[in-house]
Structure 1
């Protein structure tokens, strides 16, 4: 019989896995790539947010132009009889002109916005409108909660919800006693103003109309802010000690409170004042309400200032700030929107805030 040949089994190739060192190297490479890619992604997202914010201001300013064409004046805060406790904001007045038809069903200009004071108690259906956020009035870079819960009637009334806004109308420089907008200011808005485009003698392209600010703290009366991010959202709360209580007042400002020209002196000046009584967190707390600390701003502070704002019963100085790196958007009365850097000279920034300062602006 022929012999049966036998062969040794063919060995299977050994399976080779990653060593621990190789695995750590791969993880390190992935980490480096993510570290390189993440800032680019964040930068692209912020660029998109900045574009959307600029477009929001463009839409708001276009609505202002349409309002002016219909009424022959710009929208402004106004009195209801002798009351200056706040009525429908400029944004509420312009609602028909930036495609907020659903808001028009909830806003009745023939009825009071609210009753009482500081702030008043919202009257239905305005309470529903006040709590409804409007995307056009919100900066996409804003990180804070947009809904504020405000206790009405100086703390004795019900707590009501307000949707905040990151945009505000220019009430002027706020220097000296110009923070008191019961009388005409050097801006384009004050209580019962009757400003048409013909009154802006510096030129529409040389005069600011709207800019942006960060929303305040959700607390009505927060503790003293200790870090920069909180200081930029919190206001000095100053006693409402106006010299004249008539409307219009016979004399502007509060007793013993005349703001210095240099905003760097404002904090020490306010702290030393006998009128300083604590802190307020309601910056931008309601788009529907026509009070300056909610829907107005001044050119007193430079953009992105770390010095807190000041409010007294709704009036005061309110800076422009944003979460955009390096500056803020500002819309001019001609409808153009530009990015204003935080390094802008204060004199130039204030010149942009005046309607009749006889300044000729250079490109920002």
Structure 2
């Protein structure tokens, strides 16, 4: 009887074999290594896109200021509570003033300017809760609106936890302050030093291309230090929750004097001016290596964390005689 040989189909099945456990582990390890190599590149690409959007936001704000100046022959009112020639307590801010210049005229038209508390009045809650992409940097981690805002009426300020407002990451520099330098403070582009009158481009005698308009102060009023770590509340420079939450939402007082800090972000008047803390007067972003700043000529500049504070101060000052073209 002839020997029985397996059929061609059976032989084909016999010649097949699966991965061994060792081979499978090697394949998994290789895939893991490739993913580990790919993730940083993906994250860098995403951050590059977010930084570009942040740059575009600041450029849009700079151009809006120019359009405002062309229309009203002055820079926008920068502050909540400045009365100027009205003699009333209407609460205004640059974030509100340029709304028509960033295609948000309909939002401006909805504001109730007759209420005593202005933008912090219940009547304007629907307005200040609108989240505007032009006022936030996409690199900043967000968890929604700023819960708890300031009601300001008759020279008193009350922290109201039942109200909220949409955040803003961009601030006007009011001045640069450092008590270790002479003079200790230089005035920025939007201010006359006394908060008494509107300011025009002609006041920036150092030149618009040499003067900062907006800087990043991201994620305020959540106070952080270098590395995006929450700051110990025992080291806060703000004396009260009212002072802290007076800022941080786009329709409020989005300006502050810029201060230099120690590298750990715990003490001001140190060597660091970028990305050490967003605490009182801290210039801060979530971009690795520096932050974006709007320049008076409409351009946007990326300022490195290693910038010299003297050069940075010259960039903030509008009429101090120190011309700083590029950082």
What's the TM-score once normalised by structure 1's chain length? Answer: 0.72
CA distance in 1, matches of 2:207, 2:226: 41
Question: Does the residue aligned with 2:276 lie in a helix, a strand or coil?
Answer: coil
Say if 1:303 and 1:327, in contact at 8 Å, map to a contact too: no
SS state at 2:229 partner: helix
Corresponding position of 1:34: 35
Which residue in the other structure is 1:138 paired with? 136
Rounded Cα–Cα distance in structure 2 between residues aligned with 1:342 and 1:279 = 30
Report what 2:288 is aligned to: 325
Following superposition of structure 1 onto structure 2, how do residues 167-316 of structure 1 map, counting pairs within 5 Å?
Answer: 167-175=170-178, 186-190=187-191, 191-217=195-221, 229-231=229-231, 235-238=236-239, 282=245, 284-289=247-252, 291=253, 295-301=254-260, 302-306=272-276, 309-310=279-280
Q: Go from structure 1 to structure 2 and tell me whether the alpha carbon gap of 1:198 and 1:230 turns closer, same or farther (over 3 Å shift).
A: same
Q: Output the aligned Cα RMSD.
A: 3.2
**Would the alpha carbon gap of residues 343 and 185 (structure 1) be closer, same or farther in structure 2, given more than 3 Å must change?**
closer
CA contact (8 A) 1:207 1:353 kept: yes
**Residue pair 1:236, 1:279 contacting (<8 A) in 2 also:** no
Tell me, what secondary structure is at the counterpart of 2:106? helix
1:155 positional shift: 5.4
Cα 1:114–1:229, aligned 2, differ >3 Å: closer, same or farther? same
Equivalent in the alignment of 2:167: 164
Residue equivalent to 2:121 = 122
- Where does structure 2 lack aligned partners over 5 or more consecutive residues? 152-156, 180-184, 261-271
- The alignment status of 1:148 with 2:149, answered yes or no, reads no
CA separation of 1:304/1:231 partners in 2, compared to 1, >3 Å: closer, same or farther?
Answer: farther
Q: Per the alignment, do residues 63 and 308 of structure 1 end up closer, same or farther by CA in structure 2, a change over 3 Å counting? A: closer
Whether contact under 8 Å (1:152, 1:159) holds in the other structure is no
2-side partners of 1:232 and 1:347: how far apart? 28
Q: How far apart are the structure 2 equivalents of 1:324 and 1:300?
A: 19
- More displaced 10-residue stretch of structure 1: 5-14 or 16-25: 5-14
SS at match of 2:52: helix
CA shift in 2, pair 1:305/1:41, >3 Å: closer
